[in-house]
Structure formats: C-alpha cells, structure tokens
Amino acid sequence: MNEELDPQSEASRPPLLAENISRRILTVRGHRVMLDADLAELYGVPTSRMNEAVKRNSIRFPVDFMFRLSAEEYTSLISQIAISKPLL
C-alpha cells in the first residue's frame, strides 16, 4: 500500500470496526459512497493529503472513483449525516 495513505504500521493501528465504516457509507446518485474526509480519517491522514495522493495516482482508480457533489447533493448529505450520527 502507498505509504502516503498508510503512515502507521499495521501492528500499531487499531482495527477498523465494521460499524465505524458502515455509518460513513452514504448514498449519492444511487451509489454507495464515502466522503474524502471520512476515507482520510480511516487512513489517518489529512484530507488534503488523501486527495493529493489520489490525484497523483489517478491512473490506478476507475473513472467513476470520485466526483464532485452538487450544492443540492451536499445539502442532502448534511441532513443524512446529522441524522445518522449516534448521540453520545
């Protein structure tokens, strides 16, 4: 794996729990997606570094791997996220 996206060794990183990942999966345009900020958090890197690494290695990803949200989609996701986050 690219060290930019995986700065910590497997042994030192806590395991990702399925419920932590599944609640970050959203539906946009009929597809299940994750936001760049959530992917970056899962990998333990800043969002900007995650996006830089993807851009530099774009040939490794399918054409539909990423897309920009419309203003309407963004507003809808904000609502989904607010509703789906558990109360602490």
pLDDT of residue 14: 61
The pLDDT tens digits of the residues spanning 25-79 come to 888 888 888 888 888 888 889 999 999 998 899 899 887 788 888 888 888 877 7
DSSP line for 38-77: HHHHHHTS-HHHHHHHHHHTGGGS-TTS--PPPHHHHHHH
The pTM score is 0.60
pLDDT of residue 87: 45
* Residue matched to tokens 């959530």: 38
pLDDT of residue 85: 53
